Chains A and B, each alone.
Chain A
Amino acid sequence: MSIDMAQFHQVFFEESFEGLDAMESGLLNLDLGDFNVEDINTIFRAAHSIKGGSGTFGFTAVSDFTHVMETLLDEMRDGRRKITQPAVDVLLGSVDCLRDMLQSIQNGSEVDQADVAEHKLALDNELNNAVPNSPSVGKQTAKASTVLPADDVKQIAGWVIAFSPHLHLLKTGNEPVRMFRELASLGHLTTTVDLQGVPNLYDLDPEECHLSWKLEVSGDIPETEIDEIFDWVEDDCDLAKQPIYQTPSESTPFHGSPEIAISHAVSRVTKDVSSELASSEESEANAADRKNGKKEDAKAAPKGSSSIRVDTSKIDTLINMVGELVITQSMLSLLGEHFELNKLDQLKNGLSQLERHTRELQESVMNIRMLPISFVFSRFPRLAHDISSKLGKKIELKLVGENTEVDKTVVELLSDPLVHLVRNSLDHGIEMPDVRLAAGKPETGTVTLEAYHRGGNIVIEVADDGKGLDKDKLRAKAIEKGLIDADAILSDKQTYELIFMPGFSTAEKLTDISGRGVGMDVVRRNIQALGGNIEILSELGKGSTISIHLPLTLAILDGQSIAVGDETYILPLGSIIESLHVKEDRLNRVAGKGETFLLRGQYLPIIRMHQIFNVLSAKTTKLTEGLIVVVEGQGLRCGLFVDDLLGQQQVVIKSLEANYRRIEGVSGATILGDGSVALILDIPGLVRLANQ
């Protein structure tokens, strides 16, 4: 039977990455002074699983590497080895290395052998350091030496085996008959049973085995094959076996074997230690950053199909719901078979039940895609640990609301922007300890990462109690860079938002932790691409808070249906500010600039939907007769002129591009209750269309 093991690889990689994350957070949280065996056990178990899986799936390099980690952890777990900070650091480095290795294998790219060798050497050194007689190497050598040289078993003509099971043998699940059948598969078998041990019927316990056997099996059978059959019952029986030789009394099997050395240490590390010692902190930091960059590249381009791990309870809920739906459906179809008007109430009840079940089902299905935000948050303790030790800062990272759930796609896309923001806080936000003390603040700075739900959104806040943003500096810099006019009047909020402008960077000098590569403008663009927005609040000397608002899911939208002629369109409910009938005296036609209307002292442009979408069936083209829906998107406010508002409903977003193409002013499509397709409007796109 041949099974394509590759089909399990994806699952293996995913669980291994999860395992590595667990190891990482376990190691970071390990309090060396006061830890619990279960803490180490969790870390050990993750390493153990990766080793087992990688061995089974043929990734020997990974299993060899993990083996050393496992051995180290095993000794720590048993208390044979003291857990030291250097050891933890070596393990943390190994976790990174292993993650890179697995990523390379997953992507089919080259494993960085030098990096692996370096970490393995560090592990081996650690292993050999504290416990001088490392048992692991010895054990392996011993195990490898049980192979019998083939030459010496040739003359065997068969075996005579005396097999006397202990009374409890059956209770181990082993069954002599099955073992005999195995023996018979090796050669001709004759069995002689000895009934002497069987007590009389009154004393007989049928669950015990009172029989013993003399077994003779003929054939040129290696001892190992005989041993294998009795391997499991070694301690549950008296066993004696004697080979029968073709040419009697010749040599007895020779058990010596060539020594097989298993080399653990990979010493191909070509690293000039002295030069490393001499290297400045900066270049070391650069190297670290280069590595981080590489890691993120790999993250950004995941390969293969993605899968999702779902809590069984969610599946159970789903199954229950489908069950209820089926019941309702059969009730309704029964009703439909012999429908009379006096059953109208029943029908109405049934339909409302159906609606409820369908809605619940939809919610549960969406719920399957929801992951806790901890999937993203969990990488930050490490980031904080690394950055604070590199910069010599004292930083406490607080994670709040890690179990807040959000759609898997959002989780994945959120990761990079958040890393950027947290790095900014750690690097630029929090001051050095002496500066903090001088400012009368606690020496240890706090960065808080918090997630919570508000309405249909998830809100994620990155807050620090660091130095905050200096409005005057921001302003001066924006003027210097030519981003604003020197006499521009900006509100506080607008001033802070300058940091999101392309080409703006607040750091006085670039460091390798942040302020390089992507800027805040890219972060904002990424967040907006997800349908969210980002805001900043800051107070000089007190700290900054950046909050991100994102829709919980990218697959479902709270929509407002609008009518333009006989066509129906969907507006994202979140983009609607209000809708109103506009009076003639509020309208204004700016020469060459189109129509505007006055709303609370502000002139807003009017976009005529019938015009930009060429709807010929529009009920009216008079602005005073239709409805103006005030909408906002990417900071732009305008009034959409439509015929009417229809209902509000949740809609499932479908791609237009899957079979068709992108259409300006439209972000996607959805299927309405009657089965027809309605387009979902994209406000910035509409504004662009109107300006054309």
Chain B
Amino acid sequence: MSEIIELSSTDQQDAKRLDTSLQFLSFTLGQEEYGVDILRVQEIRSWEPVSRIPNVPSYEKGVVNLRGAIVPIIDLRERFQLGHSDYSPLTVVVVLQARMADKTRIIGVVVDSVSDVVDVNKKSIQSAPNFGAKVSTEFINGLVSVSGRMVMLLDVDKLLKLDGLDGEDES
């Protein structure tokens, strides 16, 4: 299991960090709690209206202008088929950096709320069990227990790749 974690933490900052511990930003989607590598989090913003993109899956909400860059916004609830919730100014968008080939791409994901930054000992990460059809385990790097709650650790790069956001698979 720990091998998979190392695969996703290849940048230099990671290497400098204690190799036994990782930091994750945790957030909630409905009743579930997820975590992403904190080094992949560029910023946290509140929801703002997007420009819709025609003929794409409904979880691809559209694009926004992030300081001059056009950035797609993905609704993770819908992506994971956890139902839809209405957006309010309190809805949170986590802006993530993902790597595709040698490029860094920026993507925003809509989550219900951001909970915490958690320190995770690598050794305490368990491999993901089969969730069945509900959530594709392909996005999940592993599971970790934080104060009795279960947090699913997401692999940002895979999340984007499976969405075909790498721009290579044209329609």
Contact = CB atoms under 8 A, between A and B. Distances in A.
A655 B56 contact: no
Chain B CB count within 10 A is highest, among A657, A661, A666, for A661
B55 A661 contact: no
B70 A660 contact: yes
Nearest to A688: B171
A677 B70 contact: yes
Given A567-B52, A659-B69, A659-B72, A677 B167 contact: no
B164 interface: yes
A35 interface: no
B163 to A, nearest CB: 9
Contacts of B165: 659-661
Nearest to A675: B65
The range of chain A's interface size is 20 to 34
Nearest to A615: B54
B55 A664 contact: yes
B13 to A, nearest CB: 21
Contact of A662 (B50, B70, B72, B170): B170
Contacts of A613: 54-55
B105 A679 contact: no
A612 interface: yes
Contacts of B62: 677
Contacts of B72: 659-660
A265 B137 CA distance: 69
Given A669-B63, A676-B49, A659 B54 contact: no
Contacts of B157: none
B68 interface: yes
Contact of B70 (A567, A656, A664, A689): A656
B64 interface: yes
Given A671-B65, A676-B49, A665 B54 contact: yes
Contact of A659 (B52, B107, B169): B107
Contact of B53 (A612, A663, A671, A675): A663
Interface in A638-692: 654-666, 669, 671, 675-679, 689
Given A656-B63, A659-B107, A669-B63, A679 B69 contact: no
A312 interface: no
A614 interface: yes
Tell which of B51, B54, B64, B72 has the most Cβ of chain A within 10 Å. Answer: B54
A684 B54 CA distance: 16
Interface string A555-573: 0000000000001000000
A654 B70 CA distance: 7
A676 B73 CA distance: 14
Given A669-B70, A675-B65, A661 B54 contact: no
Interface string B67-78: 011111000000
Interface residues of B, number: 27
Contacts of A677: 50-51, 62-65, 70
Chain B CB count within 10 A is highest, among A657, A659, A671, for: A659
B106 interface: yes
Contacts of A656: 63, 70
B166 interface: yes
Contacts of B170: 661-662
A663 B49 contact: no
A669 B70 CA distance: 8
Contacts of A678: 51
Interface in A281-299: none
B51 A664 contact: no
A110 to B, nearest CB: 25
Nearest to A655: B70
A659 B105 contact: yes
Contact of A614 (B50, B54, B63, B107): B54
Contacts of B55: 612-614, 663-665, 689
B54 A671 contact: no
Contacts of A689: 55
B167 A671 contact: no
Given A658-B105, A671-B65, A676 B51 contact: yes
B70 to A, nearest CB: 5
A679 B54 CA distance: 10
Nearest to B170: A662
A269 B146 CA distance: 75
Interface string B102-114: 0001110000000
A14 to B, nearest CB: 24
Nearest to B98: A659
Nearest to A689: B55
B164 A661 contact: yes
A437 to B, nearest CB: 55
A170 to B, nearest CB: 55
B91 to A, nearest CB: 18
Contacts of A663: 53-56, 171
B51 A567 contact: yes
Nearest to A657: B167
A664 B71 contact: no
Interface string A600-613: 00000000000011
A406 to B, nearest CB: 25
B99 to A, nearest CB: 12
B137 to A, nearest CB: 24
Contacts of B106: 659
B70 A612 contact: no
A216 to B, nearest CB: 57
A666 B63 CA distance: 13
Nearest to B49: A676
Nearest to B53: A663
B63 A660 contact: yes
Interface string B147-171: 0000000000000000011110111
B108 to A, nearest CB: 9
Interface string B16-59: 00000000000000000000000000000000011111111000
A264 B55 CA distance: 68
Contact of A612 (B49, B54, B63, B105): B54
Interface in A37-65: none
Contacts of A567: 51-52
B130 to A, nearest CB: 30
Nearest to B163: A661
Contacts of B65: 671, 675-677
B89 to A, nearest CB: 16
Given A656-B70, A660-B70, A669-B70, A679 B171 contact: no
B51 A679 contact: yes
A660 B68 contact: no
A678 B62 CA distance: 11
Could you say which of A615, A655, A658, A664 has the most chain B C-beta atoms within 10 Å of its C-beta?
Answer: A658
22 contacts: A567-B52, A613-B54, A614-B55, A654-B69, A658-B69, A658-B70, A659-B69, A659-B70, A659-B105, A659-B165, A660-B63, A660-B167, A661-B164, A661-B169, A663-B53, A663-B171, A665-B54, A676-B51, A677-B65, A677-B70, A679-B51, A679-B54
Given A663-B55, A677-B50, 7 more contacts: A615-B54, A654-B68, A659-B70, A659-B107, A662-B170, A677-B65, A678-B51
Instruction: Kindly list the 3 A-B residue pairs having the minimum CB-CB distance in the complex, ordered from nearest.
Output: A613-B54, A677-B51, A661-B167
